[in-house]
Amino acid sequence: MTELRIAIVGFGKIARDQHVAAIAATPGATLSAIASRNASLPDLPHFATIEDLLEKGPPIDAVSLCTPPQVRRAQALAALAAGKHVMLEKPPGLSVGELDPLVAMAKDAKRTLFATWHSRFAPAVEPARQWLAARRIKSVHISWKEDVRVWHPGQGWIWEPGGLGVFDPGINALSILTRILPRPVFVTAADLSFPANRDAPIAANLALTDAGSLPIMAEFDFRQTGPQSWDIVAETDQGRMTLSGGGARMAVDGKVLAEEPEAEYRGLYRRFVELAATGESDVDLTPFRLVADAFMLGKRNVVEPFVE
């Protein structure tokens, strides 16, 4: 099996905490270089920009873009033009529409474009999908609340246009929701809370449904202190299914039916290796569209300024 030689572009918290170890644990993948203005790894070639990497770097087959979404389209364009496979951290870009030309470019070049949703690879997501498929779902409630100061320290880009604010973690919940439910869903109403000094929401409440009028409510909040919550609860004709810990644990009426150690990013890289072997792409923009619709339909409320 030929090794997929990967360079990480953008070496912040998520790249250090998740991507490096996941690549090391994935058969058929190897980390060959880092491109970042502010960080590097010992014993690995390092470049300030993706342009320097592509021009002067060692031989690579693929790039994993872990930069803020505001700059990702141009980086993906450069990588595809250089004949590289491309993995996009979530959210995949600054806007939904900018992804279409990249998808077409990857197809023409027979290169992989992989828009990742790491939470779909959480261990209890697939068991939850299978369990719900055989039940009548009555309602769904999402509670996705975390402390931005703990999970996104110093990440000013998240408050800029395109940074998504609370939807940066909230889109993880929507990626799980659109995987485990049997029918497509859409947003019917949204209430967005913007700090007076920021351009992205710090909290959001969404109402969603499907063609069968399934009631779905989602609560996202960046101001949570104390216990953090990443939970999806589905009431069904055969009990209450709770998916907790961001998809790590599934229980029905309190009885745990699925729970395994976190390995989401390993799943992403296994998928990336599979896709790159054939040049296929995997770009599901459904969660991104739901966020875009929330902004379109959202009632804007100005709340107290956010100061880190």
Confidence band for 1, pLDDT divided at 50, 70 and 90 = low
pLDDT value at position 261?
83
Same fold? 4-115, 119-261+292-303: no
Mapped onto helix, strand or coil, the DSSP state of residue 82 is coil
Tell me the whole-structure pTM to 2 decimals: 0.95
pLDDT single digits (tens) 100-139: 999 999 999 999 999 999 999 999 999 999 999 999 999 9
pLDDT single digits (tens) 163-222: 999 999 999 999 999 999 999 999 999 999 999 999 999 999 999 999 999 999 999 999
Fold of 119-261+292-303: Dihydrodipicolinate Reductase; domain 2 (3.30.360)
Map out the domains of the chain as residue ranges.
4-115, 119-261+292-303
Task: List phi, psi (to 5°) of 150.
Answer: -85, -45
The CB-side HSE value for 296 (13 A sphere, CA atoms) comes to 11
188 class by beta-carbon count within 10 Å (0-12 exposed, 13-18 middle, 19+ buried): middle
pLDDT value at position 263?
87
Query: Which token pair is 246?
Result: 């961001």
Q: Are 243 and 167 in contact (CB under 8 A)?
A: no
Query: Does the annotation mark 110 as catalytic?
Result: no
4-115 maps to which CATH number? 3.40.50.720
Q: What is the largest CA-CA distance in the chain?
A: 60
Q: Which position among 13, 90, 255, 299 bears the catalytic label?
A: 90
Length of the chain, in residues: 308
**How far is it, in rounded angstroms, from Cα 154 to Cα 218?**
26
